[in-house]
Structure 1
């Protein structure tokens, strides 16, 4: 194991506050109970909402480390956590024990974030899309495709089509494959950005942000069944779209917009230019009920999806482009002056008022980094270069 992924120095602030956590010398404990719930795609679901009906634990104490992930965030399905690098590891969600492991015959960086269905784990690898059986890791199908998979896989709510962005010389494609067989159902051409994938699927439409061939940045809607384009709207997206019954929520050069499902109406909900003229970029958007959560260098915001009224704001420095919204908590990877450490932290904030519930520091190491998180009932899973693969946090008493 490369030394940069090992713990170098334990957190010097252990025990200084009930809110804070640090790396444990022996990260091999089980969580108090088997976590439940599904965080089966990059932003939880096909609509990219970033919100799950699960209870985030009351404390964020390190339980275990396992798997071999470097860059790809964890996914959770039932009692299994999936870790992806050059292989897929299926881990027991409570103990971290490896249930099965499959070599992808890939180089580091070749694989994409997968999507998990009731039967399969589907992911893009350089030149192909692969599906393995969820409970055993056995190969279900493999579909060759020219180019390289360029972003996370999205599976529609019915579990029938998997959408995979592919890039190749001279063009980018969004490829739809049948989940059961791997047969390509349709392909549309659209240039994607790393910050604007994956697309979102909601009520028979696919919403995708990217560029025309003349570099004009757009948001497009396609028919899910055959890929027919239904509308297009010019905007400068910084995040993937998130879709609910209230509309399509997406950044537009420092502005959070709500676009109607038909594409003919748009409303500005949050303009960071009015908040912080230096830190205008929106890094992540999540939507739960009547509230949109926005992460940017200007802070973490909660705003009304109907009129844009601000519910709360907390000043944080984002460390990963993701937001996990649970029933009562919002979990992000951040730094904050409100914490008693400036090391990277996985933090849980109260969903109602933005107050800090707890934070877990990954401790002192050489250039520590944090990736996106995934949540389940009773657990938070995260990726960092200071842990071995995936780490699990839960409601445990700190050791010592």
Structure 2
């Protein structure tokens, strides 16, 4: 997704009464029945970009609360707190949506990018700087000036020692690695990143990043986390998703093909090929990998693919949204923001599918307004959090009875 896309205003002056239904003044305001547990502390849940969390998605997707200032930066969840980020950071109670603290980023719309949440801090890139706030009360911990424009989500390593933030610069973009505790710059890797290929992934002391060389060739690289030394590079046709790294290898969408490499960047295998002569859109829009199954969101649908042999386990007939390139995998459920002819509405929906067979469990429409949009989601035990121009900031769905 384009992380600097400006929010579309859904409730503009002059829209009729019917179109206004579901906008801010008519939004839900209920607490979830229990405090959600679990965490979604980076854009793709973890440092490896797997998109997988060991949580139980609610059996129903009933609207609960909405709050915060976010409109394009995905929500994050850490224990009992949800973080909303736009020109300010809001820490919200995960059950009630009440604001715990709020800090101004002193930034323009679109300047900030998605943060990473560590045990102690929330760290994000802003144009010309990286800043860290205390998770508990929003106190500024440090700020580091960086030449360039923050170009994508931050990635914190599993040990909370290093955070990576991609930047664009006049001559050559790069990954900037900073010390989580102090904000000191550890190293910079020269790699021009795209909006589709960030964030970088970290696993077992190695950084996996997709981007471009100076000659515009699309590449996948591996660096050492300690020092940023480049270990290997392999050329791609066109990176369409960030890399995902598991014990089974390195996964990435390359020009409409889901590829898996070994951890040394060798022995590529094509697990799914969605290329076509008439295709004008990206062949694969989002990727998540859980155990022995890769989940792929594309204009051709939502797929579950065997990591072992590339066989298709199931396919759901859905269409991705331009503003929501993400997949959230829970214990038994896959959550995506899509439209589908299988639903009783063509409005954008937050939808939950059975992880085993792809059957639809529930969907929540964000229609009833002018040109509704949906952003990426985050999941926790008992809750799904999402963005839409039809709600106020972050909205929560849970297992609640319909509002009377």
User: TM-score per shorter chain, which class?
Assistant: over 0.9
TM-score (norm 2): 0.93
Separation in structure 1 between the aligned mates of residue 275 and residue 150 of structure 2, nearest angstrom: 34
What is aligned with 2:4? none
What is aligned with 1:17? none
What is aligned with 1:237? 239
What is aligned with 1:199? 200
1:217 Cα shift?
A: 0.6
What is aligned with 2:174? 173
Separation in structure 2 between the aligned mates of residue 259 and residue 39 of structure 1, nearest angstrom: 26
Q: Is the 8 A contact 2:70 2:85 kept in 1?
A: yes
- Corresponding residue to 2:349 among 317, 320, 345: 345
1:109 Cα shift?
A: 0.3
What is aligned with 2:30? 29
1:250 Cα shift?
A: 0.2
What is aligned with 1:392? 396
1:147 Cα shift?
A: 0.9
1:276 Cα shift?
A: 8.8
Q: Is the 8 A contact 2:27 2:66 kept in 1?
A: no
Separation in structure 2 between the aligned mates of residue 229 and residue 134 of structure 1, nearest angstrom: 33
Separation in structure 1 between the aligned mates of residue 188 and residue 8 of structure 2, nearest angstrom: 42
What is aligned with 2:9? 4
1:365 Cα shift?
A: 1.0
Separation in structure 2 between the aligned mates of residue 382 and residue 217 of structure 1, nearest angstrom: 31
Separation in structure 1 between the aligned mates of residue 93 and residue 376 of structure 2, nearest angstrom: 20
Question: Could you report, residue by residue, the CA deviation over 1:252-298 in whole angstroms, capped at 9, with x for unpaired residues?
Answer: 10000011100121100000137996666100000011000000000
Alpha-carbon spacing, 1:73–1:228, altered in 2? closer, same or farther (3 Å)? same
Residue aligned with 1:375, SS: strand
Residue aligned with 2:362, SS: strand
Residue aligned with 2:231, SS: strand
Q: Is the 8 A contact 1:333 1:345 kept in 2?
A: yes
1:315 Cα shift?
A: 1.1
What is aligned with 2:3? none
What is aligned with 2:125? 124
What is aligned with 2:377? 373
- Corresponding residue to 1:315 among 290, 314, 317: 317
Length, aligned pairs only: 392
What is aligned with 2:220? 219
* Gap regions ≥5 residues in structure 2: 1-6
Alpha-carbon spacing, 1:279–1:129, altered in 2? closer, same or farther (3 Å)? closer
Alpha-carbon spacing, 1:357–1:207, altered in 2? closer, same or farther (3 Å)? same
What is aligned with 1:324? 328
1:379 Cα shift?
A: 0.2
Separation in structure 2 between the aligned mates of residue 35 and residue 155 of structure 1, nearest angstrom: 23
- Corresponding residue to 1:250 among 244, 249, 252: 252
What is aligned with 1:364? 368
1:231 Cα shift?
A: 0.2
Q: Is the 8 A contact 2:27 2:391 kept in 1?
A: no
Q: Which moved more, 1:362-371 or 1:352-361?
A: 362-371
